[in-house]
Amino acid sequence: MSLNRALQTPWRAVTVFLLPALTIYVALTAYPVARTLWNSFHKVLPKREEFVGLANYAELVQDEIFWRAVKNTLIWSCTSPLFEVSIALVLSLALYAKVPGARFFRIAWFTPVLMSYIVVGIIWVWIYNYDWGAANQMLRAVGLESWVMPWLGKPTTALPALIFITTWMWTGFNMVVLLAALHSLPSEVIEAAELDNCGWWSKTIFVILPMIRATVLNLIVLSFVGKMKIFDLVWITTKGGPLWSTETVSTYVYKRAFEWSTFDLGYPSAVASVWFVIVLGSVLALTWAFHQREKLEY
Amino acid sequence: MLNISARIRAALAALGLAMLAMPCAQAQEITVWSHWAAEAVKRGYVEEAAKRFEASRPGVKVKITWYEKTALYAALRTALRAGQAPDVFYAEPDQTDYIDNGFLADLSSGLNWGNIEPWAKTAWTVGRGTYGFPLEASTVELYYNRKLLEELGVKLPPNGQLEQGAFLDLVKKAKARGITPMSQGVGDRPFPGAYVTHEVLLKKLGTKEYDDLLRGKLSWNDKRVVEALQFVKQLVDAGAFPASFTSLKLGESHTYFHTNPGALMFQMGSWYTSRAFNPTDKGGQPAGFPLGIMQMPAMTGGACNQCKTMAVGGSFVVNAASPRKEVAIALLNSMATPEMGNKWLENVLVQTGIKTDASKVSGPHADYFKQLARANEGNTYYFGMPIQVMQGKPKEVFTQVINNAFPAGSIGIDDVVKQMNAAK
């Protein structure tokens, strides 16, 4: 049957167009998700699988390291978007206002996001190095010797130090997206505000921000989801230490699956399943909370 | 004409025979996956052993794929599950999950155990089977800079072992002179920070009860355990370790000890030499570095002050599903000879589970091996590092607490006891 004839009936056309995408989706997304859920109710060893019911989930409830990982991941996911988006907003407004050297700053601030987490991790391990890292050298240079410390080696500073890295890395991306949103604003609305003697502060708060609200909220959700899944940076820099202070759910799943000298994939699957539900629920909740009930018209 | 067709038939028959023989020749390819991609000397040793084996067995080819350890372990996990693992692969004795899941061939009757040290065999013996060829072994040694010790005016007793009080004084004396007492770092490894604590615990408890402690049969509340921890805490509080302890990487801690800024002592596996005896531009110690080996301090009331940890490291195992097990075991046997053992010592400069004679080791580092042999005279060994003995959660907690947070001074003794007991 030729393609033209096949496309003559609607359902055939639908099938032809959907099949490739559906096949990829089922093979690479739906099946792994379903299989992970199925695994979570089993002890999955290489040559045998044994149904254990809710045993993996019961163990999870008692697992202190898991809850510590949940806490760290939530702290990261909730604080990072605020830092990234708010700093990005200030930077994008500065560029929008065409500060001197705007073109240079746009490139400079955007560059970190072009690097992989691996490269970023290695760079920041050097920067945070106690003896010769730039961070401590600067503190020594300005006479703040007492502030010098192994930033990634202390349980109290390791997580904030990592949050600082992701903020540095992703602010540029947020800035570029916000800048695009600012440039797409209708100039007549801004001009009308200026004609009404609206100052820059009022113009930003009462005119610009409401109009780019949707972009801001999308960036917050994107950043939130990204941090809920964070793995690479932690693995390169701290591997979850010291004292699990930077353990995230993703690093813990990896450790349980590949580093705890057991081939069992059941328990890590239970962790991954619970986390999948939490991430999904959080995104739905955020979307609902940020849903704009009254559309702005301009 | 007839002659020509006969020749053609003969040629075709020969070709057919050759094609039949080809699968047999291919079947004799032994695949090996090994760690040590970045360790040229160990790699050279294994490659030479493979070449010798190929020469002694015409038709057999050894194909070695080199990995770094983490990548190797990840690849093996997938390959073993999928039945695609090589005939021979690198493993360490703590990987008991390979044995539990039936992935390793039992070598108890195939390998030439007469050429292997009994303690090394024990490291790979689980139940009734013995599963690995223990190529690499090491003891936990306390290296020191002889010149700095002399400058501090401290003289070691003939057995090289200070009492715990004298050792603490030495640490304080070094610190007061602006010398870092012990180079150490846990920036990229889960074990070096724990050396001091586990060696002190071993001396205090003796091998039996130390083993009970590691296996969760003895409480960390035990009075002797707490006393040992108190001594380690005194060392930590006296500033025994560098301020960069938590971020210092293994390679950096070597350089810290012998080159810049220099430390008085350095507790490390005896594989210290595999880095330190490299040329200086590759991280080796300076020429003429006054390297000494002392004992960890004798504990007051210690049950076994001559005890020391010995561990089997890099080993080779045979895939239980390999259709070429006999040839694979023969390959391991070709390495398990005293001659190859001495070659390992001379070239790799690290101990081995193969029976060797250190006195026969020649070359520029022969004196070092004599010194190492003296440092191990009369010692009683506990076989296995804690992270080899422990598995799962206890291992994870040990790594985070004993290897990192406790020697870093981030937590106190009560926390250590609580966390270790909770992980049992």
A186-223 pLDDT, tens digit each: 888 888 888 888 888 888 888 899 999 989 999 999 99
Q: Number of A to B CB contacts under 8 A, please give it.
A: 78
- With CA atoms as reference, report the closest residue to A69 among A163, A159, A170, A169: A159
Query: Quick check: is B12 in a domain?
Result: no
d(CA B421, CA B302): 22
Query: Quick check: is B241 in a domain?
Result: yes
Whether B205 and B237 map to the same domain: the answer is yes
The 10s digit of each residue's pLDDT in A28-51 is 999 999 999 999 999 998 878 899
CB atoms within 10 A of CB A42: 20
Q: What is the pLDDT of residue B1?
A: 43
With 0-12 / 13-18 / 19 or more C-beta atoms within 10 angstroms meaning exposed / middle / buried, residue A248 is: buried
Which residue of chain B is at minimal alpha-carbon distance from A154?
Answer: B410
Q: Is the pLDDT of residue A105 over 60?
A: yes
Q: What is the pLDDT of residue B361?
A: 74
A281 to chain B nearest CA, in Å? 29
Mutation target to probe the A interface, by most A beta carbons within 10 A, among B70, B92, B246 is: B246
Domain with CATH 1.10.3720.10 in chain A: 57-290
In DSSP notation, A71-110 reads HHHHHHHHHHHHHHHHHHHHHHHHHHTT-TTHHHHHHHHH
Q: What is the pLDDT of residue A194?
A: 83
**pLDDT band of A294, cuts 50, 70, 90:** low
Cβ contacts of B72 on chain A, cutoff 8 Å: none
The CATH number of the domain holding residue B338 is 3.40.190.10
Whether B240 and B165 map to the same domain: the answer is yes
* Mean pLDDT computed over A235-259: 92
- With CA atoms as reference, report the closest residue to B95 among B112, B113, B72, B115: B72
C-beta of residue A110 within 8 angstroms of C-beta of residue A175: yes
Query: Quick check: is B17 in a domain?
Result: no
**pLDDT band of A295, cuts 50, 70, 90:** low
3-state secondary structure of B319: strand
For A244: left if phi > 0, alpha if psi spans -120 to 50, otherwise beta; the answer is: left
Residue carrying structure tokens 């108190």: B230
Query: Quick check: is B171 in a domain?
Result: yes
Sign of the dihedral through C-alpha B80, B84, B88, B91: negative
Least confident of A12-21, A36-45, A66-75, B203-212: A12-21
- Six token digits for residue A21: 């995408």
Q: Which residues of chain B have pLDDT under 70?
A: 1-27
pTM given for the model: 0.83
Q: What is the pLDDT of residue B345?
A: 86
Cis-peptide into B190, omega within 30 deg: no
Whether B158 and B247 map to the same domain: the answer is yes
Task: Provide the residue range defining the domain that includes B292.
Answer: 138-310+378-422
Give helix B392-400 / helix B413-422 axis angle, nearest 10°: 170
The alpha-carbon radius of gyration of chain B (Å, integer) is 25
Query: Quick check: is B40 in a domain?
Result: yes
Whether B281 and B170 map to the same domain: the answer is yes
Query: Quick check: is B20 in a domain?
Result: no
* Mean pLDDT computed over A156-178: 96
Q: Of the spans A73-82, A286-295, B355-364, which averages the highest pLDDT? A: A73-82
Q: Which residues 34-63 of A have a C-beta within 8 angstroms of B?
A: 45-47
CATH 1.10.3720.10 given to domain A57-290: yes
Least confident of A12-16, A154-158, B28-32: A12-16
- With CA atoms as reference, report the closest residue to B383 among B137, B99, B91: B137
Cβ contacts of A243 on chain B, cutoff 8 Å: 400-401, 404-405, 410-411
For chain B, give the longest Cα–Cα distance: 101
